[in-house]
Amino acid sequence: MPRPTRREFIRKAAFGAAGAIFSGMNFNCSRLTQTLPNIVIIFVDDMGYGDMTRTGHPTIRTPNLDRMASEGVMMTQFYTANPVCSPSRAALLTGRWPIRTGVVKVFFPFHNIGLPKNEITLADLLKTKNYATGCIGKWHLGHKKEYLPNSRGFDYYYGIPYSNDMDNERRGDPPIPVMRNEEIVEQPANQDLLTKNYTREAIQFIERNKDKPFFLYLAHTMPHFPLHVSDNFRDTSKRGLYGDVIEEIDWSVGQILDTLKRLGLEDNTFVVFTSDNGPWKIKKQDGGSAGLLRGYKATTWEGGMREPFIAKFPGRIPANTVTTEIGTTMDLFVTCLNLAGVAPPVDRTIDGHDMLPVLQGKEKSHTEKIFYYYNDKLNAIRVGHYKLHFRKSPGDYSWQDCDPYELYDLLTDPSEKYDLAAEKPEIVKQLSREADEFRAEIERKNENRDLIETLMKNG
């Protein structure tokens, strides 16, 4: 039997058995296509939970994020799937925990690997409804041609292929390239202008595609170290360079929102703002803040994975609301597919749930468990409002098992200060069991075990 083309493969996986029944409806799609909502996901790099005015930062001013929140909903318990870049991005674009996609560590320029080709991205799936798909900013899911955005469902790409600090000469890294589609257009990147250039590119992408549904994935390079900012924002905040960088990102958010309004697209566009993981501790006070949450990037404390989150969708999501329900980037995957009328793949486990009803305040979250992985190890699990740590989180402690376990009640103790393990042995037992079940499930079936082994060996 001939191998299915990539397109057929995606189509079959997406529609499954139902596809056979409904494929006859495709002739009728063109009229529907015009009313499908646009999707804009603004995904910043290493911004902490506490780095905006709405989450309490005293000296960083984020008037555009404030405005976005006043026009939409803010989530206080929104999680990325992992505390570092590549795994977090893989989960957003596939709807799956990184341990399933195999992307358990970050990719480096010396790697020839990327997000496995058997994984289906959100962009791949939105293409089945003729969405224009643009990725602008940092990719970090493989920089060889077959792994770049243009090979993973995106029509257009502009940005840097991995992190802005991955130019270590001694390791043999080249200077940081800026790419347009598959071509390098600037090297080394002038990082001072990245936020500005991404913003210009994003606006042009929206303008080019204003007459059809589009998906814009705007993944800012900032505020990942080394921090860079354009002259317009240099030395303008009270918070120093980090504050300047966040305020330029905030400006960029305002530019995107203004563009949607100017083109009359505001009411039919779902816009999300969040970050890929928590703030980086390496530069001490020069870095971001997780606010009241404990820990940083690359730790599995709440500060490593719980992120600022704002969504707006006028008419669909009530203005100026806050939800304390749980959400994840994997929920975003399913939510965006539902908005576009695309069924999630049925041939694999998808870990997200549609969270539009949650953002609308109509339903409770369907996400009951959070699995806090670092590399290929499950460090902690959240079930309901309890979180049990099995291992000390790297970054705060040396790499070792917790003995005894540590248990926190995240509703009353979001800062993870008061260990309840000794008081609540039944909860410890229950969460341990849930973790064992998940580990066993992953052990039983994992198509991407090879990638995990390669990354653990060569990462």
Could you list the residues that contact Ca ion (CB under 5 A)? 45-46, 85, 276-277
CB of 45 to Ca ion, least distance (A): 4
Q: Record the tokens describing residue 102, joined without a space.
A: 């195999």
CA 351 to mean position of chain CA atoms: 14
CB of 32 to Ca ion, least distance (A): 37
Write the CB contacts of 147 (distance below 8 Å, at least 6 apart in sequence): 113, 114, 115, 117, 141
Minimum CB distance to Ca ion smaller for 323 or for 375: 375
Number of neighbours of residue 447 by Cβ within 10 angstroms: 13
- Residue 148's identity, in one-letter code, is L
SS3 338: helix
Q: In angstroms, how far apart are the furthest CA atoms of the chain?
A: 65
Burial class (CB in 10 A: 0-12, 13-18, 19+), 420: middle
Shortest-Cβ-distance residue relative to Ca ion = 85
CB of 87 to Ca ion, least distance (A): 10
E-strand stretches of 238-301: 269-275
29 is an active site residue = no
Minimum CB distance to Ca ion smaller for 115 or for 435: 115
- Nearest of 139, 134, 179 to residue 153 by alpha carbon: 134
Report yes or no: 297 and 83 within 8 Å, Cβ to Cβ: yes
Catalytic residue among 140, 143, 228, 389: 140
Parallel, antiparallel, or unpaired: how do β-strands 269-275 and 214-219 relate?
Answer: unpaired
Reported residue count of the chain is 459
Taking 3-state DSSP, the helix, strand and coil percentages for the chain, each rounded to the nearest 5, stand at: 35, 20, 45
Minimum CB distance to Ca ion smaller for 10 or for 47: 47
Minimum CB distance to Ca ion smaller for 277 or for 335: 277
CB of 44 to Ca ion, least distance (A): 9
CB of 169 to Ca ion, least distance (A): 23
Task: List the beta bridge partners of residue 215.
Answer: 39, 133
Report yes or no: 367 and 384 within 8 Å, Cβ to Cβ: no
Minimum CB distance to Ca ion smaller for 46 or for 119: 46
Report yes or no: 44 and 249 within 8 Å, Cβ to Cβ: yes
CB of 320 to Ca ion, least distance (A): 29
Minimum CB distance to Ca ion smaller for 281 or for 312: 281
- Catalytic sites, residue numbers: 85, 140
